[in-house]
């Protein structure tokens, strides 16, 4: 591949300015400046992400659950802290965009809404390697990583020119609005796809167990030792 070029990935989502007055058919390919404005905050980014993902789903159909989703962004003045780089807490909010994009485009979002399911984050941890500077372009890469009998694990990365700046692993659970956890076999049955997600590696299972808090049915007093 020539230097400076980039191969487009089928799951790429470009989210960079005010929405264009275009047809739904043209929206995903022509409105590529919506997030370049410093006035655009996370709420607008989220709405634009959801809208564009739905357009791409209608146009191309669902993508495989193991697909790496990509959402391209820029560090805005509302993202930075006093040190003039992206605030550590903002990463999790922007990684949510990758999660929305992936859930919608895999078809999981529609399957959840049709059956009265919803997803909640149970555990997450993030590791920082490099700082994102003001106005710097970066890509949020997201992938369904693994699952056990009660939760799905996702990985989100902040990537610049193919280099990982930060990575987050998320443990999420799918719940019924009527109560209870949605089993993984039922989730994949609703998607009409085989369950091709592996079991998590041992270190991920150990991390989930070690960081767990008591369930909502058990006491959880704030006692400092």
Burial 77-93 (b: 16+ CB within 10 A, else e): eebbeeeebbeeebbee
217 domain-assigned: no
* DSSP 8-state assignment for residue 183: P
- Look up the pTM and report it: 0.80
152 domain-assigned: yes
225 domain-assigned: no
220 domain-assigned: no
98 domain-assigned: yes
Tell me what the pLDDT averaged over the chain comes to.
Answer: 85
195 domain-assigned: yes
Number of independent structural domains in the chain: 1
Instruction: Tell me which of 11-20, 170-179, 193-202, 214-223 is least confident.
Output: 11-20
pLDDT for the residue 161: 97
Looking at residues 176-183, what average pLDDT do you find? 92
Task: Give 206 or 20, the one with higher predicted confidence.
Answer: 206
- Does residue 13 contact residue 70 with C-beta atoms inside 8 Å? yes
Which phi-psi region, left, alpha or beta, contains residue 73 (left: φ > 0; alpha: ψ -120 to 50)? beta
* Residue-wise pLDDT tens digits, 203-225: 999 999 999 999 888 999 999 98
CATH of the domain at 124: 3.10.129.10
6 domain-assigned: no
**What are the helix and strand counts (H, E) for the chain?**
6, 6
pLDDT for the residue 32: 39
Which phi-psi region, left, alpha or beta, contains residue 135 (left: φ > 0; alpha: ψ -120 to 50)? left
165 domain-assigned: yes
**Segments forming the whole domain that contains residue 191:** 12-210
Q: Which of 77, 74, 143 is nearest to 106 (CA)?
A: 143
């Amino acid at each position: 591949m020539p230097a400076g070029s980039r191969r487009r990935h089928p799951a790429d989502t470009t989210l960079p300015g005010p929405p264009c007055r275009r047809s739904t058919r043209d929206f995903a390919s022509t409105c590529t400046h919506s997030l370049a404005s410093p006035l655009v905050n996370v709420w607008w980014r989220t709405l634009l992400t959801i809208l564009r993902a739905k357009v791409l789903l209608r146009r191309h159909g669902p993508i495989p659950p193991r697909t790496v989703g990509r959402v391209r962004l820029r560090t805005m003045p509302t993202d930075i802290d006093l040190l003039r780089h992206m605030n550590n807490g903002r990463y999790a909010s922007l990684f949510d965009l990758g999660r929305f994009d992936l859930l919608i485009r895999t078809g999981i979002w529609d399957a959840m809404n049709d059956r009265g399911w919803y997803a909640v984050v149970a555990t997450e941890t993030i590791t920082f390697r490099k700082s994102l500077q003001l106005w710097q372009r970066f890509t949020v890469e997201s992938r369904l990583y693994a699952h056990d009998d009660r939760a799905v694990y996702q990985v989100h990365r902040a990537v610049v020119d193919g280099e990982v700046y930060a990575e987050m692993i998320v443990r999420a659970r799918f719940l019924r609005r009527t109560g209870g956890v949605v089993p993984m076999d039922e989730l994949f049955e609703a998607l009409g796809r085989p369950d091709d997600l592996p079991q998590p590696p041992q270190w991920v299972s150990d991390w989930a167990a070690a960081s767990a808090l008591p369930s909502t049915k058990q006491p959880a007093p704030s006692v400092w030792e």
